[in-house]
Amino acid sequence: MNTTLFFLRSSEQKIATNMLPYTLVADGFNDSTLPNIYTHEYGFKNSDIGIYSLTENEISGAAWIRLYTESHGVKGYIDNATPVLIIGVIPDVRAQGIGSLIMDQLLQEAAVMYEQISVYVLSNSRTIKFYEELGFIQQNGVNYSDGFTMVKKLTKKEITRPTDGYDPRRWMD
């Protein structure tokens, strides 16, 4: 299986919009009415960072982080300096390492700008272990009736891009 990563740019906001329904489906939550606050005008702010993957020339997953304010009412919100993570992988290619591949790169990119990121997780989620393996820990005091917030502290280090050097055909800014 051949998977390639790309930056998720503002001109590709439709990728984020199309991936949004897959973000919580892994947990049996299938709500096609998820608020568009997670994708609305994605990439129009310098604080937005996203990665998407192509597997066999088809979009297979995407993850992005965005800064929100408390007034947005976004689950996973910690503070105005901590972006919230949204990630989705197409069901046909789950459990093949694509989510981990995307997250490894996203965490490197995010560490350049942020000290930590947060994510909302359903209480009975199969993804809790996934986030724990990435170093996320449950944030005390940030709970919802159906889930909780996890936080990952980030460490700045040299970014390793998925190609030898910079190849604009494969890794687009």
Per residue in 20-59, pLDDT (tens digit) is 777 754 444 445 445 577 676 676 778 889 999 988 888 8
Within 13 Å, how many C-alpha atoms sit on residue 94's CB side? 15
What are residue 152's phi and psi, to 5 degrees? -120, 120
pLDDT in the model for residue 166: 40
- What gap in Å lies between CA 82 and CA 104, rounded to an integer? 18
User: 62 near 112, Cβ under 8 Å?
Assistant: no
pLDDT above 50 for 120: yes
- What gap in Å lies between CA 109 and CA 3, rounded to an integer? 19
115, amino acid identity? E
Integer CA distances (angstroms), 164 to 94, 117, 171, in order: 27, 28, 11
In the three-class reduction of DSSP (H, G, I as helix; E, B as strand; rest coil), residue 21 is classed as helix
* pLDDT band per the 50, 70, 90 thresholds, residue 159: confident
Q: The pTM is what? A: 0.81
Residues 137-164: what's their mean pLDDT?
80
Q: Which CATH class is domain 3-153?
A: alpha beta
Residues 110-119: what's their mean pLDDT?
94
pLDDT in the model for residue 163: 56
pLDDT in the model for residue 34: 55
- What gap in Å lies between CA 126 and CA 148, rounded to an integer? 13
- What gap in Å lies between CA 81 and CA 41, rounded to an integer? 19
User: 134 near 87, Cβ under 8 Å?
Assistant: no
pLDDT in the model for residue 57: 83
